[in-house]
Structure 1
Amino acid sequence: MTPHRTRTPAAALLTVAAALALTACGSSSGTSEGGSASEDSPNRTISTAMGDVKVPAAPRRVVVLDTAELDSALTLGVKPVGATHADVASGFLDYLPRDRVAGIADVGAMMTPNLEAVAALRPDLILTSKVRHGDRYAELSRIAPTVMTENTGYPWKENFRVHAAALGRKAEARRTVADYAEHAAEVTEALGGKERAAATEVNMVRFVEGADIRVYGRKNYIGTILADVGLGRPAVVDRAKDGFSYDVSPERIDLADADAVFHSTYGDPEKSKETRTTGSGLWKNMAAVKNGKVFAVDDQLWIQGIGYTAAGKILDELKKDLAP
């Protein structure tokens, strides 16, 4: 992605001010008291992590500042005018269809969005989360109505409903949720039914550059998908701090053993300890390795996507790898 040129503070302020003025010209009032308005009302009120926020009934220029929000928008048939880029070579996560993200303006890195670039797009809605950008809420909400969920990851289904409400796509969201539930049930049956799925213990391991190896617990995005299929989880996952992950060193990787182990890598394989760990005797002696039930998966898809489009692809991979 081509980086934005650095401008003087004065120039940046003028650009933001101009964009704010244009955005304000397109706004209108009139919202149902205490809840969502009808579809043909100029505005609706959305309950967010930062309180109630008025949004356009049919936003046309949406900017998303995280991967989950990008997945949600595209899943619901909304192409944002701008999005932050993930820490990957392609900018936007690779599992997203190239034609669906083509033309979306890059507004900076996920944790440090370029607010000048955001304002220049004249958005009428911004989607993000408090955990990512709560400290910039005042600045963002001066550019456009900003809808923030509290967190990301584990509450992804609840967050999707908030995104759908903000985008005016509740009907599409209901269809998406129903399709996902049907898809998950189909995978469960393909694995031999509920009892056989529950008897198959699965672990998700992530090698992270600059951190310990994570054995994912139940309270995260991938944990919820495994639960939706009804797969069993080894006892080690219940050691996870706050349900998120139980972190281990390469010397304790055998604790991650299960009937099947999926693993991904964030960062350099050497620096994340992936190369060292998967080449060790402890790893090679795990039952999952000996039984050919260890699967390297795409970190962007399994960990970073955090949405229904990603989840559908993960369900397909679970079926392919685990079906008898």
Structure 2
Amino acid sequence: MPRIARRTFLAGLGGAALTACSSGRSAPPVADNLPASGTPSPTPAPPVTVNAATGPVVVPGEPQRVVVLDTDVLDSALTLGITPVGAALPAADTRYPDYWPASRTAGIRMVGPAGAPDLAAVRALRPDLILSNQARDGDRYAQLSELAPTVLTQTTGAPWKADFQLHAQALSRVAAAAAFVGAYQKHAGQVAQALSAARLSGRRVSLVRFTEGGGIRLYGRQSFPGTVLADAQVGRPDAQNVDQSDFEIPLDQIARADGDLLLYATYGDPARAGADAALASPGWQALGAVRAHRAFPVDDQLWFQGIGYTGANFMLDELQRFLGA
């Protein structure tokens, strides 16, 4: 989706959330005007206890200096109107996802790669809340907790909707979260209805990712993009219509990547990730989706790393466009 269109969508989504929120604390305004964290409320909010994967954690009410250590919590924080003071990204990523306007991410300091953050850099930011998950940071939870209250979900990916609720509690944005959830559900229903009306909901959509160190990966139903496709009520190829997140295949089994529509992304360098070799291979060229010109590259930071409601909304729009509804 072009950046201008994405900004327009963000503005509309922010307006929907503002309209839907009826509590005393308003939902975030439109995305391009969301305030950065760091401006304290006139009256300090009371602490909040959240039930994280590690047990109950007492966090400050309305935290102002939030550090996020994975891409799902980055999406959650920005969606809920909190601009983190620091963030960790996957090692191969050198920039913040461009489905967010640069104005929303310009002030966020990088604190090292996800899964191996620079604790000194985190400490220097004087956080009052740290958000991550056990898969990334479970082994350094004690160290992080010494720096600030740390809220971890168990994992990331498929349980992103439940994780978002925990993030919202920790960020004191529960009412705003409900508005975004409702807006997404409405959007998914509209896309599903449009695909059904165009008789496209039966199309099987394949998800392929080329990753440095991970080879060729196919994504099943229990993955972030898999759940978004399910919300749009589209079908999956037999090889990917499975209750798991993702699995690696060798190049000589690339036929398992076929579908009526094929969406593929690359994490890291295309040559080292095997993308260049795979896309040039006879097996790839023989795929039905490729021969029918129904194979499209997608943004890895959106489709496989977005892992949140803003990312998912953009994916729904792109899916509808790719299917031609």
Determine if contact 2:45/2:62 at 8 Å carries over to the other structure: no
CA contact (8 A) 1:197 1:232 kept: no
1:294 is displaced (CA, Å) by 0.7
Percent of matched pairs sharing the same residue: 47
Match of 1:202 in 2: 205
Aligned residues: 283
Question: What is the match of residue 26 of structure 2?
Answer: none
Q: Secondary structure at the match of 1:265?
A: strand
**SS of match in other structure, 2:196:** coil
C-alpha contact (below 8 Å) 1:197/1:230 kept by paired residues? no
Q: CA RMSD in A?
A: 1.8
**Pairs within 5 Å for 1:43-82:** 43-82=47-86
Q: Which runs of 5+ in 2 are unaligned?
A: 1-42
Counterpart amino acid of 1:274? A
The runs of 5 or more residues in structure 1 that have no matched partner are 1-38
Q: Deviations over 1:136-195 (max 9, x none)?
A: 1111111111111000111111100000000000111001111111111121122234x9
What's 1:281 paired with?
282
Distance of 1:197 and 1:217 partners within structure 2: 20
- Secondary structure in 2 matching 1:112: coil
Measured after TM superposition, the shift of residue 214 of structure 1 is 0.9
Q: Are the aligned partners of 1:190 and 1:323 in contact in 2 as well (CA < 8 Å)?
A: no
Q: CA deviation at 1:211?
A: 2.5
- The whole-number CA distance in structure 2 between the counterparts of 1:149 and 1:89 is 22
Q: The residue matched to 1:113 in structure 2 has which SS? A: coil
* Distance in 1, Cα, partners of 2:302 & 2:117: 22
C-alpha distance in 2, partners of 1:247/1:137? 30
- What is the alpha-carbon distance in structure 2 between the residues aligned to residue 103 and residue 88 of structure 1? 20
Question: Aligned pair 1:229/2:255, yes or no?
Answer: no
Deviation at 1:281?
2.2
1:72-129 Cα offsets, whole Å, 9 max, x none, are: 0000001111112333454322322210011112222212111122122221111111
Residue 40 of structure 1 deviates from its aligned partner by 7.5
Return the offset for 1:271.
Answer: 2.2
Question: How far apart, CA to CA, are the structure 1 residues paired with 2:226 and 2:142?
Answer: 33
Amino acid corresponding to residue 68 of structure 1 in structure 2? D
1:266 aligns with 2:267: yes
For the 8 Å contact 1:130–1:149, the answer to whether it is kept is yes
The structure whose Rg is larger is 1
Paired position in structure 1 for 2:101: 97
Residues 1:53 and 1:89: Cα distance change in structure 2 (over 3 Å): closer
CA distance in 1, matches of 2:121, 2:59: 21
User: Equivalent of 1:156, from 155, 160, 165?
Assistant: 160
